């Protein structure tokens, strides 16, 4: 599948912890906690996670999926946010509630990932690179909010 024969190894840096009814936390492993320095100066973080529940599926072969929010019309996986895709890397922009660098705990408002989901990376949300004024979207999405709603959104809550 890869013309260069190369592939890369990624390892989790933490995991999602979301006890029922309790706060949602990105729990960062001890070895990586120093990397949180200064994250508390931002309001939002982009959480990169691995859609582990699909890890045993033949996910690299799934290229087109039905869109449940668009009458099951089909789209390529590079044209939607399906967790089934050649690499199971998912991102969610999350409002942060608190950052505890010493404990490795980043409390967030919402995320569309299950308890125990492996976390691969965190990046601060930068308007200069991440906020697009004039984004045009598929007709399938017209009528959706123009902004991330307060409290975030879980496209796949309970399904990720």
- Select from 20, 21, 134, 158 the one that contacts a second copy (CB under 8 A): 134
Q: In the complex, what is the shortest distance from the CB of residue 72 to a second copy, in angstroms, rounded to a whole number?
A: 13
29 close to 13: Cβ distance less than 8 angstroms: yes
Q: How far is the CB of 138 from a second copy (least distance, A)?
A: 4
- Among 92, 105, 117, 160, the residue binding a second copy under the rule CB under 8 A is 92
Selected from 80, 105, 108, 113, the binder of a second copy by CB under 8 A is 80
- Which of 23, 34, 68, 115 touches a second copy by CB under 8 A? 34
The verdict on 75 binding a second copy (CB under 8 A) reads yes
Taking every pair of C-alpha atoms in the chain, what is the biggest distance, in angstroms?
47
Residue 58 is a binding residue for a second copy (CB under 8 A) = no
The CA distance from 36 to 67, in Å, is: 36
CB of 65 to a second copy, least distance (A): 9
Q: Should residue 133 be labelled a site residue for a second copy when binding is judged by CB under 8 A?
A: yes
What's the rounded Cα separation, in Å, for the pair 11 and 118? 9
CA–CA gap between residue 5 and residue 10 (Å, rounded): 17
Q: Give the count of residues interacting with a second copy (CB under 8 A).
A: 82
Verify binding: residue 59, a second copy, rule CB under 8 A.
Answer: no
Q: Are 111 and 25 in contact (CB under 8 A)?
A: no
Q: Do the Cβ atoms of 11 and 28 come closer than 8 Å?
A: no
16, 50, 83, 105: residue in contact with a second copy (rule CB under 8 A): 50
Backbone angles phi, psi at 5, to 5 degrees: 70, 10
Question: Do residues 152 and 111 touch, judged by C-beta distance below 8 A?
Answer: yes
Q: What is the DSSP letter of 15?
A: E
Of residues 21 and 61, the one with the C-beta less far from a second copy:
61
Which of 43, 68, 115, 159: binder of a second copy (CB under 8 A)? 43
């Amino acid at each position: 599948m890869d013309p260069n024969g190369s592939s890369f190894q990624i390892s989790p840096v933490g995991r999602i912890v979301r006890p029922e009814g309790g706060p949602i936390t990105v729990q960062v492993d001890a070895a990586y906690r120093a990397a949180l320095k200064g994250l508390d100066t931002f309001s939002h973080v982009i959480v990169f996670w691995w859609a582990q529940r699909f890890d045993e599926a033949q996910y690299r072969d799934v290229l087109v999926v039905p869109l449940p929010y668009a009458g099951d019309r089909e789209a390529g996986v590079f044209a939607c946010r399906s967790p089934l895709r050649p690499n199971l890397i998912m991102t969610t922009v999350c409002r942060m509630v608190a950052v505890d660098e010493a404990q490795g705990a980043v409390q967030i408002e919402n995320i569309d990932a299950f308890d125990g989901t492996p976390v691969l990376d965190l990046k601060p949300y930068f308007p200069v690179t991440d906020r697009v004024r004039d984004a045009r979207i598929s007709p399938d999405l017209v009528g959706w909010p123009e902004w991330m709603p307060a409290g975030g959104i879980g496209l796949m809550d309970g399904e990720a």
